[in-house]
Structure 1
Amino acid sequence: MHQIIKEGSIVKGPLWPEPIEVKKIEEIDEYVRVIGVTLHSRRFVDQLISKSDYEKLEVEDVSLDFSTPSEEAFLAIEAERYRFASLFDPLLAMNVSKIDPLPFQIEAVYGYILKLPKVRFLLADDPGAGKTIMAGLVHKELKLRGVVNRTLIVVPGHLKDQWLRELKEKFHEHFTIIDRSSFYAHYGENPWERENQVITSMDFAKQDDILLSLQNVDWDLVIVDEAHKMAAYKYGDKISKTERYKL
C-alpha cells in the first residue's frame, strides 16, 4: 500500500535530485500535481506527474532525533548564530575579541573605514595610538561578515613576531609568517597559495624572485604597517622610486 502523501510531507523519488517538502498535492484526472520546495537548494517545484510516478515516491521519516551529543549540537547552533551575527551586532568583531578599544578607534573603524564601498584607507595616527588594534578590527570584522578570506600583512621585518602575537592573543586570529625558509621548505610550490592569512616583511617581499611569486596570488585584504617606508621620494624635479615603493 502506498504511503499517504500530504502537505508537509518530505518525499523523494527519481523525478528530483533531492527530497522535496510538499506544500500542496492534488489529483487532476490521470495525473497528480505536486507543489513544493527542494529540501536543500530551496528551489520551487510545481509539477504534474503520472500516477505511476506518484507510486514511486517515498515519504521520508522526519521524526526528531535527540541522540546527537550535546556538545556537537551546541557547536552547530553557535556556528549558525555566528553566520548571521553581523546582521544584528554591528560591533561583532569588537565584542568577540580581547580588546578594549578607545572611542576614536571605534569611530575610525565602524564610522569611516567599514562604511566605504571599497575599503582603502590610510591610518596616520601618532605612534602608540593603536593602529594595530584598528587594523585587526577591520580584518576581523570583514572576515566575520564573509567579505575577506585571504589576508596579507606586510610589515617591517622586526615587527613580524609582534603582529603574529597580537593578532593571536587579541583577535584569536592565526597567521603564518612567510620568509625565505618557507620557500626552501616548499621547494617547487608557491608558499603564498598555501596559507590564507600571511605576515611577511616588506624587505623580503620586494625581492625580484619573491615579488614575482607574490604577483601570481590574489588577496582579499592587504594591510601595510609603517607604509611611509614604502613611499617614493622627490628631490627637486626627480622622483626616486625605491624597491619598497615598487612593491
Structure 2
Amino acid sequence: MSRENLVEVEFRHEDEDTLLADAGESSSIVEHLLSVQANRLQAGQPDSELRSLSHLDEENVKLLEHQVDAAHRALFEMGGKALLADEVGLGKTIEVGMILKEMHYRGTDDAVLILTPAQLAQQWQAEMLEKFGLDFTCNYDDDFAGFDGHDHIIASIDTAKSERHRSTVLARDWDVLVLDEAHYVKNEDTDRYGLLEQLSYDYAFFLTATPIQNDVTDLYNIISLLRPGLFGTREAFHNYFVNTSQETLVNRNELQTRLREVMIRNRREETDIDFTPRNVTTRTFTPSPAEQDLYEAVTDYVRTAYSEDQGQKLVLMMLQKEVVSSPAALKQTIERQLDVEDGRPAHADQLEQILEWVDAVEKPTKLEQVQRITKEARERVDMGRVIVFTQFRATQQSLLDTLSDEGYTTHAFHGGHSSDEKEEIVERFEEEGGVLVSTDAMNEGRNLQFCNVMVNFDLPWNPMKVEQRIGRIHRIGQEREVYVFNIALEDTIEEYVLERLYHKIDLFQQSVGELSEILTRMEETGRNFEDEVFERLVGAGSEVELENDFDAMAVDLQEQRDLAEKIEDFNGGVFEGFDLGASDD
C-alpha cells in the first residue's frame, strides 16, 4: 500500500472561497458536496473527491459544510497528516469519521489506532460504528486481545503507554493514527509524548480545540509530532517567531504559511451552525435557621484551623464546599476528621458541635428546589429528562434517595463506575428518561444532546467546570432550547462566587475557549482560581471586607479578560486564514 493510492495530487481551486460562500446559501449539504466535487473533477483531479460520503446514512450523521471541507483538506491537501483544531462543539470527531470512512472505502486503513482519554474511548467506538459503520475494538471490550490482536483499535492513551502494552503498540506499523485531545501531549517530557514520538504510522490526525494553552510552545510540540522538522528546533522556533520581551508574535506570514500545511481551524462564528438558545436561571434561596447556623459554624472552624495549619488547606476547602452542598457530604468528612487513633484531634469540640448542627437540618433547602424543578420537567419535558450535577458522592446519594422516593426513574453516574457501566448508564437514561444525578466525572467529553435541562445543585468555584457541564447538552445535535438552573444559598460563599464572579465574566455566555483564555491568564500570574476564592474567604475579617474582596477579584477578572483579548490577538496572528479554506492573503 502506498500513499499514492490515497493522494495522487494536491488540489486547491482558486475560486474555492467563492464556492464555499455560495454553498452556504444552499439548502442541501448534498448539493454543496456535489458542486465541490464537480469542480474538482472539471479541474482534472478524478481521485481528489470524498467518494464514500454518498454511502453514509443521512439519518445517522448530518454532514456540515465546514466538516466536509476539513476532511477533504486533511486528506488531499495535507497528505494525510493534519491537526484538526476547530473550536469546541464543531464536530471534530465527525471530521475524523469522514476521513476514516474515506480511507476504508479506498482500502488504506489496514491498521488503525485511535488514542483517546480513558473516559471517551467507548464513546468514540459507538460513534464510529453508529454514524460511519466502522467497527473498532476497544481496550475495554471483553474480547480485547491486545494491540497486536486487532487491526482497528480504540484505546485509552494511558493504556497504550502502560508498561504492559507499550512494546506491542510500538512494534506495529500503523496505517492511521488518530489522537483525541492532543493538547494532553503538549509536554515533551511525558510518557505520552514519548510514546507518540516513537510510534510508526503513515497517516495521522490529531484533534484539539486548544492547540495553544499556555504559550506557543504547546503548538510547536504537538505539530512536531505530526510533521517533525516543520519548525526546526524548539530554540530556533522561538528565536524566529516569538519576541520574548514583548510577548508578541513576529514573522507571522511565514508561521501561517507553515501552519497551513498541517492545521485546520474553524470557529463558531464563521460557520453556518445555528446553535439553539441557552437559557440560564440562577436561583438563590434563604437557608433555614439550622442551615445558617451550620454554615457559620463550618466557616468559623475553617478560618481558625487554616490560620493555625495551612497544610490542611485541601480538607478545609472541601468542608467549605460541602456545607453548601448537603449535610450528608459534610457529615462524612467531619466524622473522618474525628476518627483518629491517637486521642482527640485538634478542635474536636468545634467538630462535634458541627455534627450537632448537621443533625438539626431536617430537609435541605436546595433539595426542595430540585424537587420543584424535576416535577415541572416531568410534566413538560420529553420523558422528564433532567441532569443534576453535584461535586460529592454523598450529596449524589441523598438526591437519588429523595427523588426515588418521589417515584422518579433515577440514574447515578460517577467515577467509580467502569467504562462499560458508564456507557450503559447513559443508554438507560436516554431510553428510560427520568433524572440522571452525576458527579463531575461526566463534565467533559460525553454527548448528551438528547437532554436539554440541567441543574447545577452545587457550583464549582472554577467556572470552567460549570461550562464543561453545560457543554454536555449544549452542542451540535441539540435541537431544543437548553435550560440551565443554578441553585445557591444566600449569604454563603456559593452566592459570592455566583453573583460577584460568574456574572462579572458573563460565564453563561462564554464559550469554553474564551473562558479558558481568561483563566489561563490568571494562572500564569500565579493564582489558581479556586485557591483565590478560598484565600479571600478565610482572610476576610468581616462581611463588608469579604464583599470588597470579591469585588476586587471581579476587577482582577476583568483585567485578565483584557489580557486574554491580547492573547486572542496573538493567537489570531497564528490562526488567521485557517477558517473554511481562507486564502493566503
TM-score by length of 2: 0.24
Indicate the larger mover: 92-101 or 128-137.
Answer: 92-101
- Aligned twin of 1:100: 62
- Aligned twin of 2:154: 199
Match for residue 91 of structure 2 among 130, 133, 136: 130
Distance 1:211 1:106 in 2: 34
- Aligned twin of 2:113: 152
Structure that is richer in helix per residue: 2
State the Cα deviation string for residues 4-27 of structure 1 (Å, max 9, x = none): xxxxxxxxxxxxxxxxxxxxxxxx
Match for residue 183 of structure 2 among 208, 223, 228: 228
State the Cα deviation string for residues 191-212 of structure 1 (Å, max 9, x = none): 2222111000011111133111
Does the CA contact (< 8 Å) of 1:231 and 1:244 recur in 2? no
Match for residue 141 of structure 1 among 79, 83, 102: 102
Matched-pair identity in %: 33
Counterparts of 1:36-75 in structure 2 under 5 Å? none
Whose relative contact order is higher, 1 or 2, with alpha carbons under 8 Å and at least 6 apart?
2
Q: Which runs of 5+ in 1 are unaligned?
A: 1-86, 233-239
Indicate the larger mover: 149-158 or 100-109.
Answer: 100-109
Secondary structure at the aligned position of 1:100 is classed as: coil
- Aligned twin of 1:46: none
- Aligned twin of 1:178: 139
Secondary structure at the aligned position of 2:82 is classed as: coil
State the Cα deviation string for residues 13-51 of structure 1 (Å, max 9, x = none): xxxxxxxxxxxxxxxxxxxxxxxxxxxxxxxxxxxxxxx
Secondary structure at the aligned position of 1:170 is classed as: helix
The amino acid that maps onto 2:118 is G
Secondary structure at the aligned position of 2:84 is classed as: coil
Deviation at 1:153, TM superposition (A): 0.3
Deviation at 1:181, TM superposition (A): 6.6
Secondary structure at the aligned position of 2:173 is classed as: coil
Counterparts of 1:158-173 in structure 2 under 5 Å? 158-173=119-134
Q: Give the number of aligned pairs.
A: 147
- Aligned twin of 2:507: none
Distance change (3 Å), C-alpha of 1:214 and 1:94: same
The amino acid that maps onto 2:176 is L
Deviation at 1:182, TM superposition (A): 6.1
The amino acid that maps onto 1:241 is D
Matched, 1:241 2:189: yes
Distance 2:167 2:142 in 1: 17
Deviation at 1:170, TM superposition (A): 0.3
Deviation at 1:89, TM superposition (A): 9.4
Distance 1:89 1:96 in 2: 17
- Aligned twin of 2:529: none
Deviation at 1:174, TM superposition (A): 0.8
Distance change (3 Å), C-alpha of 1:225 and 1:119: same
- Larger of the two Rg values belongs to structure: 1
TM-score by length of 1: 0.55
Does the CA contact (< 8 Å) of 1:150 and 1:196 recur in 2? yes
Deviation at 1:146, TM superposition (A): 1.7
Distance change (3 Å), C-alpha of 1:108 and 1:180: closer
Q: Give the CA RMSD over aligned residues.
A: 2.2
Does the CA contact (< 8 Å) of 2:147 and 2:165 recur in 1? no
Distance change (3 Å), C-alpha of 1:115 and 1:180: closer
Distance 2:193 2:62 in 1: 34
Does the CA contact (< 8 Å) of 2:52 and 2:101 recur in 1? yes
Deviation at 1:179, TM superposition (A): 4.9
Secondary structure at the aligned position of 1:141 is classed as: helix
Distance change (3 Å), C-alpha of 1:176 and 1:210: same
Secondary structure at the aligned position of 2:159 is classed as: helix
Deviation at 1:92, TM superposition (A): 2.5
Distance 1:182 1:242 in 2: 30
The amino acid that maps onto 2:101 is K
Secondary structure at the aligned position of 1:92 is classed as: coil
The amino acid that maps onto 1:171 is F
Distance change (3 Å), C-alpha of 1:179 and 1:162: closer
Distance change (3 Å), C-alpha of 1:92 and 1:180: closer
Distance 1:227 1:88 in 2: 30
